[in-house]
Amino acid sequence: MNTLLSAGIIFTLLAIVFCLYRWGNLKCVGVTPVKTFTFIAILFTSGLDVGLIMFPLTEFAGYADHTASPEYAFSNPLAIEFAYWGFLIWGFYFLTSFYFCVIEPKVGFFEIPFVKLINNIVIIGTCAFTAYLLLSNLPWYLPELSEEGSIVTTFYVIVFVVIIAAIFSSTDIKYVRILSLASTWLFLALIAVMWSLAAMGPNEMLDAANLIGNYFVNIHKFVLPINDYHEFYLFWWFAWSIMIGQFTSRFVGGLRTWQVLAALLIFPSIPLATWFSVLFFYHENGLDSSGFVGISMVIVGITFVINSLDSLIRLYSDNLKLTPKRLGKVPYILGNLVALCALTMLFKLDFLQIQWVGALVILLYFACFGFIMLKKRKEVLAIKG
């Protein structure tokens, strides 16, 4: 698995370089172009889920424990957290967004029936994993509702309601746009509120910026898997990459290729760096993250989950032609509800792992490249840059 993952990462980076070299100045326009800010909001909130809100406070201590994890000794916990979520790995999303916007219309690889089936299995499985992440992290953030950190009935009900809300939202594209913008503003508001409650000053933010700067000094060390946990993250990003590219490529509004890459590397990284800095301040100073703070984080996390799920549900429903218009709204909602709840429980029972989904996506990358080289090379090289 590690060899496959490393090969996938190297291939992805080389493909990005080639796309910039060949088509760096090409204007990219999706089928439903939107303004740049809306595009970034859709990408940011669709490409990130509840893990962004709920993971960091549970991870900083592990990254700082060099006795148990000596492989982290070259950096600091804040830089490592940023490395697992920010900057370079957004190149995965750039590559797939560019591919589905510019190349796939000339190639049609994902229209091949077997490929379409595998692709939709990936999308449905990752949707369920997102719901599972919410379920598994609720006890940590809402301990007052839990019984010694266990998952109680209340948490199952919350996830059930979230899945229904996401399915309903997916029935109309206007909800997707509204949720994307709302999620962005809610996330920024959460940062502002937690920053204010922590009384975090400019000097503390400068200190945090210096810590994050260590990521850029050691960026080459984060390219390939550091350990099993980093491997989990990278497979997770691969699992998301194709479906996020499929969805967000629709909304590219005329940016040139290099601008799309710059936008994806820079704009999401700024709020991520700020968010992690605030959370790290809470961790380092032992500030209380329960009560109002914990509930606020859960609310924003739930909004992220709904926003991510509705985008992906709409994507695989369109791909499989199982749309509300064709099936009717009630059968559409019930069918998706049964499928997602069942798969969520399979992740809960360890019958499924996100690493398997990520590995399947990497194989799709290589299969697509092989298909282009064998059958569609002329069509791709004919694309003007």
Q: Give the per-residue pLDDT at 343.
A: 87
pLDDT for 214: 95
Q: Cα-Cα-Cα-Cα dihedral of 77, 80, 82, 88, to 10°?
A: 170
* CA atoms within a 13 Å half-sphere pointing along the CA-CB vector of 359: 11
Contact call for residues 85 and 265 (beta carbons, < 8 A):
no
User: To 10 degrees, the CA torsion angle through 78, 84, 90, 92?
Assistant: 170
Rounded-to-integer distance, Cα 27 and Cα 23, Å = 9
- Beta carbons of 223 and 9 less than 8 angstroms apart: yes
- Helices 36-47 and 228-248 meet at what angle, rounded to 10? 140
Q: Would you call 24 helix, strand, or coil by DSSP? A: coil
Under DSSP, is residue 378 helix (H, G, I), strand (E, B) or coil? helix
Segments making up each domain of the chain, as ranges: 2-60+76-256+292-381
- Give pTM, 2 decimals: 0.88
Write the single-letter amino acid at 203. Answer: N
Q: Determine whether 318 is exposed, middle or buried from the number of CB atoms within 10 Å of its CB (0-12, 13-18, 19+).
A: middle
Q: Which amino acid is at 172?
A: D
Q: Quick count: other Cβ atoms within 10 Å of Cβ 325?
A: 9
Q: How far apart are CA 97 and CA 268, in angstroms?
A: 15
**Tokens in use for 329?**
């709204």
- Gap between the Cα atoms of 280 and 295, Å rounded: 18
With 0-12 / 13-18 / 19 or more C-beta atoms within 10 angstroms meaning exposed / middle / buried, residue 4 is: middle
| CA separation for the pair 327, 81 (Å, rounded) | 43
DSSP characters over 311-327 = HHHHHHHHHTT--HHHH
Distance CA(31)–CA(49), nearest Å, equals 25
Q: Name the residue with tokens 């590397």.
A: 265
Q: Which two tokens stand for residue 324?
A: 């509300």
Q: How many beta carbons lie within 10 A of that of residue 173, not counting itself?
A: 14
What is the model's pLDDT at position 148?
Answer: 65
DSSP per-residue codes, 104-120: HHHH-GGGSHHHHHHHH
Interatomic CA distance for residues 104 and 153, integer angstroms: 44
Residue that the structure tokens 């399915």 belong to: 167
Q: Is the distance from CB of 301 to CB of 130 less than 8 angstroms? A: no
Tell me how long the chain is: 385
Predicted local confidence at residue 347, as pLDDT: 85
pLDDT in tens for each of the 385 residues of the chain? 789 999 999 999 999 999 999 999 999 988 888 887 777 777 776 666 677 888 888 899 999 999 999 999 999 999 999 999 989 999 999 999 999 999 999 999 999 999 998 998 888 888 888 888 888 878 877 777 777 666 778 888 988 999 998 898 888 767 767 777 777 788 889 999 999 998 888 889 899 989 999 999 999 999 999 999 999 999 999 998 988 888 888 888 888 999 999 988 988 898 899 999 999 999 999 888 778 888 888 888 888 888 878 877 887 888 888 888 888 888 898 998 998 899 888 888 877 788 999 999 999 999 999 999 999 999 999 998 6
Neighbours of 353 (CB within 10 A): 15
